[in-house]
Structures are given as C-alpha cells and as structure tokens.
Amino acid sequence: MLAKVPELNLNDYLRGSSPLKQKFIQELYAGLRQFGFIILNDHTLDEDLLAHAYELSEKLFSLPENKKKSYISPSGAGQRGYTPFGTEHAKDSAYADLKEFWHIGREFAHDLNSYPPNIWPEELHDFKPVFVKIYESLDHIGRILLQALTQPLQLELNYFDKIVNRGNSILRLLHYPPIPPNTDPNCVRAAAHEDINLITLLVSASSSGLELKDHDGHWIPIETSAHNIIVDSGDMLARITNDIIPATTHRVVNPKGPNTSRYSMPFFLHPNNEALLSCLPSCRGEKEKYAPILAGDFLQQRLKEIGLYEKK
C-alpha cells in the first residue's frame, strides 16, 4: 500500500531508461488504484503560457455579469462558453456549488465538428490562441498517461488513442468567488463528487481547497507545487475497469482563511461520443458491474444529473 498520493515524473516515461519507464507505469497504476489520484511533475506544459492563461482567466471572470451571460451557449447550459454562478450541483445534491466557469472544447480545422462550437470572448484578444495551446498540451499529456495504463490493463498500446480520437474533452476555467454573505451553510465551492470522464488533469489551483476521500472515509487535502498537475480517474475509466481503478470522491471546500477568489483549470479527457464503454477483458473477474453504454449517452445522462444539459 502506498503511504500517500504518488508524485511521478513524466520524463521517466517519455525519456527514461527501461527500469524508470516501468517504475512510472507501475506507480501510475498503483496510485490510481489506491487513491484515484496521482501528481505529475516535469511535464510538457509551458509554465509561462500557463501563467498567462491564469491572468486571462481572472480578466474573464472580472467582466460585467451581463457581458459574461451574453456568452452562455445556445446549445445548452454548460456545453461551451459561460456557465453562471450557482448553476451546477453535485450528483444527488440539492445545493448548488459556489462557482462559475467557462468551457472550451476541441477546435477543428474544418467544418467536421459534431460538437457545439467554441465561444471566444471578444474583449480578450489573445484568449483563443492561449487556451487552444493549453487544451492541446493537456490533451497530449492525457493521452500519454492513458497509453502508460495499457500495459497493466493488458491492452494494445494504441487502445485509448482510438477511443479518444476526436474526443469530447473539455477545458474548464473555474472561478470560485469569495463566499457571499448569508450563504446557505450547506453550499460549498464544489460538493463531494466524482468526475464523469476517463481522466482529469488539474493544473494546480491558485489556492488550496481540493480534498479526496480515502477508502476509510477520511478527507485528505491534495496540495502540491503550482508547477505540477494533479491527475484523477473518472467514472468512465472506473466503468471500463470494473472499478479496479476507482472514480474517487473529491471536493473543494470553502476557505478557512481569507475569503478570496480561487481559480483552477481542470481538463476533462473524454472519449468520442461513439466510443463504447464496456468492461475490459482483463478487468471482468467474476462479474461485470456495468452494462455497455456509448460514451455520448453516458455523458448526457450524467450532465442532466448535475444540472447541465445539451439541447438536441
């Protein structure tokens, strides 16, 4: 058993010796199995680009409320563009999360996109090029991590490449404002939940607050250097691995110190909508826990459960 969430060096997998690469694969798999989380350092995301992205995110959420609301996607709440404060809630929770956010999806070179088009704020001229680069970088890192999981899951090396190609992955710019006066004490910045997707890559946030729930029901703070990426496994990965890799419950708690804004930038790596989520042969054991379902259908089911939806 691991004593804590492991911190891994991506270069060990990309450029390390065969023993270092194997150690990375084993610790990635062990960390996700035990915690549903790992921490990644020495990755390929440019730190100057990331710093600029956080500056742009702060400017974005500082826009007037009526201007932000003009960027709500006509395709349905939460799919692209702006989602107002208090819209989303955790599955089975009656209380809204204390956050607002902006969604960026995959950009396509030609008009072949079956997903809603991205929305770009006209007030921030370098917003699009910066966040397209962030999106592409995190997408690349996520694919590398999924590739590293193919060995312990007894899959061909390109298994995940096939299902995430043209995937419906989302970069979410998150703003947790200062907690408003007279807020219902049951409301928190992000109530206990599991992510929907395969894996999430969370660029370390501007302040603390993220916690995971361990097997004994204890809440463990997840804190690391601002240069690292926190990775967690989602419902889709749990589903196809028969919960061998769990989707770990986590939350973002309200600040215990100064009541200030918190910014973060998770990247939710999704398959394409036509990918079939079915139990992997190496994970079946005595019983498959979940019936096969298309990734797009599962996503829509879960979006409705958390207060988001897509109009057809």
Residue 114 belongs to domain spanning: 7-305
Does a structural domain hold residue 310? no
Mean pLDDT of 165-175: 93
Q: How many angstroms separate the Cα of 105 from the Cα of each of 51, 79, 166, 180, 226?
A: 20, 8, 10, 30, 24
- Looking at per-residue pLDDT, the higher value among 104 and 286 belongs to 104
Cα 291–chain centre separation: 24
Does a structural domain hold residue 1? no
Q: Is 312's pLDDT higher than 50?
A: no
Does a structural domain hold residue 2? no
Write the DSSP assignment of 169-186 as a string of letters: -EEEEEEEPPPPTT--TT
Mean pLDDT (the chain) is 90
Does a structural domain hold residue 278? yes
Q: Is 299's pLDDT higher than 50?
A: yes
105-109, 194-198, 215-219, 251-255: segment of lowest average pLDDT: 105-109
Q: Is 146's pLDDT higher than 90?
A: yes
Does a structural domain hold residue 91? yes
Q: Are 202 and 170 in contact (CB under 8 A)?
A: no
Q: Which of 217, 271, 205, 267 is nearest to 239 (CA)?
A: 271
Does a structural domain hold residue 53? yes
Q: Which of 171, 167, 70, 99 is nearest to 130 (CA)?
A: 171
The predicted model scores a pTM of: 0.93
Q: Give me the CATH number covering residue 43.
A: 2.60.120.330
What is the structure's pLDDT at 71?
94
Mean pLDDT of 281-299: 94
Instruction: Quick: pLDDT tens for 2-55.
Output: 778 999 999 999 999 999 999 999 999 999 999 999 999 988 788 899 999 999
Does a structural domain hold residue 312? no
Q: How many domains in the chain?
A: 1
